[in-house]
Amino acid sequence: MTSSPSPASPRGLSGAIRRAPLISYFVIAFLGSWLVWLPWNLSDEAWGVLHYRVPFDNMVIVGASTFTGPFLGAVVVTAVTEGRGGVARFFRRFVRWRVGGRWYVLALFGLPVFATLGALAIPGVVVSFTPIDPLPTAVGYVWFFVWPVTIIGGPLGEEPGWRGFAQERIQARFGPLLGTIVLGVLWGVWHATIWFSGQWTVPSWQNMVAFTVWITAVSVFYTWVCNRSGGSILIAILIHSAMDAFPNFVLFPMFPQLGTMTASGVLNAYYANVIGYGILAIIVIVATKGRLGMDRVAVGADRPGVTRVADSR
């Protein structure tokens, strides 16, 4: 008796990507960013391993690394696993704007509100209050929100990867809550090389742990809003932009104490984020019973043969 030969399994790099798309994405996201950061970190601007100076601001490095890491990883893995049609569907989510007004309100103001609440809970922050001129601040904030924050500050390059590609796949494997925690921790660790370059704040392990805790907590909010808005990458970008722009342009100038270090070696702003975003995460988890809106859109709903599923949470 003879048996018909089984179809050959894909070989080479494309075969490896097809067999493990999520792992492949994270490998590209990390290596693609870290290799771009490396010349800066090795220079006299950071670690001083090699004695040369980088002739441009590190914000250029940050911006480029988001596109060579998370963004590139999402496009490459989608192209290999889903072809041109998958890539087209992926890019259409950048302009998925018909998601309901409340999701825009939450994207633009949700994190600023809870960041402020967390800040007010930190001892010494309230007494450091410094008045700001509302109108110039508002005008300046809108411009700062767009440039440099959205364009080269991270949101436009990162969110197509974290929320646009990884979120739906990782929550399909681990469930919405555990999947979000896993994604949040990986997102935090992804920042490690730029973090320890000393460009943000004191590069201590305590600061890195606090940073990873709050970025994991805030990921719960991202997951919920993105699930409920049909996987809109546009909404994810707006959330990220508000998360970065508001503290840097409004909270820090109003409450300078947030920019100081505590005796425990953690930036006051990070403690504030742990409190504010931690409270927000608890509210979302309780309100959705841990589903984080996952049933709103079936995983891969944009791909052929997968249907959308309504959900009230």
pLDDT at 2: 44
Q: Which residue did the predictor score with more confidence, 8 or 147? A: 147
pLDDT at 301: 53
How far is C-alpha 3 from the geometric centre of its chain's CA atoms? Answer: 50
- What is the spatial distance between Cα 74 and Cα 72, in angstroms, rounded to a whole number? 5
Residues 66, 156 contacting (CB under 8 angstroms): yes
pLDDT in tens, 140-160: 999 999 999 999 999 999 999
pLDDT at 274: 98
pLDDT at 196: 84
Q: What's this model's pTM, rounded to 2 decimal places?
A: 0.92
Written as six digits, the tokens of 155 are 């949101």
- What is the spatial distance between Cα 214 and Cα 184, in angstroms, rounded to a whole number? 9
pLDDT surpassing 90 at residue 282: yes
pLDDT surpassing 60 at residue 302: no
Residues 163, 290 contacting (CB under 8 angstroms): no
Peptide bond into 134 cis (omega under 30): no
Confidence of residue 203 (pLDDT cuts 50, 70, 90): confident
pLDDT surpassing 60 at residue 313: no
Confidence of residue 300 (pLDDT cuts 50, 70, 90): low
pLDDT at 310: 36
Lowest-pLDDT range of 61-65, 217-221, 239-243, 281-285: 61-65
Query: Dihedral of the CA atoms 13, 19, 21, 27 (nearest 10)?
Result: -50
Residues 51, 44 contacting (CB under 8 angstroms): yes
- What is the spatial distance between Cα 162 and Cα 167, in angstroms, rounded to a whole number? 6
pLDDT in tens, 165-175: 999 999 999 99
pLDDT in tens, 228-265: 999 999 999 999 999 999 999 999 999 999 999 999 99
Domain ranges of the chain: 97-296
